[in-house]
Amino acid sequence: MKIWVDADACPVVIKEILFKAAERARIQTTFVANHSIRIPPSRVIHFLQVSSGFDVADDEIVKRVEKNDLVITSDIPLADEVISKSAQALSSRGELFTKENIKSRLNIRDFMDTMRASGVQTGGPPALSQSDRQAFANHLDTIIMRYQKSQQL
């Protein structure tokens, strides 16, 4: 398993959690963004800068992701593509996207886009809360532990 991070919109606190988890579990983790980001010196943590443009980072992640990899993203269409490649997707708020819930999440996203396009002010998502951070860390730990146990068999 490798971890791919849609790093353009990933909150700093989530990046910090990922840095620690990658080092602790020795899992290759790549942050993909169209602007430079700081990563700690590490053998397992990498940064891949892509050119600017709409969905360039997403497209690069989809191109590289493999079965059973984990992608950290809050981008619903990216999560859908990742799941279709038999990989896992986890949002920075700790929501695990699955085959069972991704289509309804896409429908909600599309509905909200339609509302915004018609002039309705929907506002943005609320600030990342402590419970969001905890949910993210818990799901990440569960996924890593499950992967490590599968490697011991």
Secondary structure letter of residue 54 according to DSSP = T
Q: Report, in angstroms and rounded to the nearest whole number, the Rg of the chain calculated over CA atoms.
A: 16
Cα dist. 44→22, 41, 106 in Å? Answer: 7, 9, 32
pLDDT at 109 over 70: no
Residue 104 is predicted with a pLDDT of 72
Residue 103 is predicted with a pLDDT of 79
pLDDT at 137 over 80: yes
pLDDT tens for 33-58 read 999 999 999 999 999 999 998 889 99
Q: Is 92 helix (H, G, I), strand (E, B) or coil?
A: coil
Residue 107 is predicted with a pLDDT of 66
Question: In the numeric block, which tokens belong to residue 142?
Answer: 């569960």
Distance CA 38, CA 111 (A): 35
pLDDT at 105 over 80: no
CA atoms within 13 A on the CB side of 119: 0
**Which carries the bigger pLDDT value, residue 131 or residue 114?**
131
Q: What residue ranges define each of the domains in the chain, with the CATH number in brackets?
A: 3-152 (3.40.50)
The residues, ordered by sequence, that sit 6+ positions from 56 with a Cβ below 8 Å of its Cβ are 34, 50
Partners of 71 in beta bridges? 4, 89
Secondary structure letter of residue 147 according to DSSP = H
What is the chain's mean pLDDT, rounded?
91
Strands of the chain, DSSP E: 3-6, 29-33, 45-49, 70-72, 88-90, 96-97
Q: Provide the whole-model pTM.
A: 0.87
Q: Is 47 helix (H, G, I), strand (E, B) or coil?
A: strand
Question: Which one, of 149, 147, 134, lies nearest residue 3 by Cα?
Answer: 147
pLDDT tens for 72-97 read 999 999 999 999 999 999 999 999 99
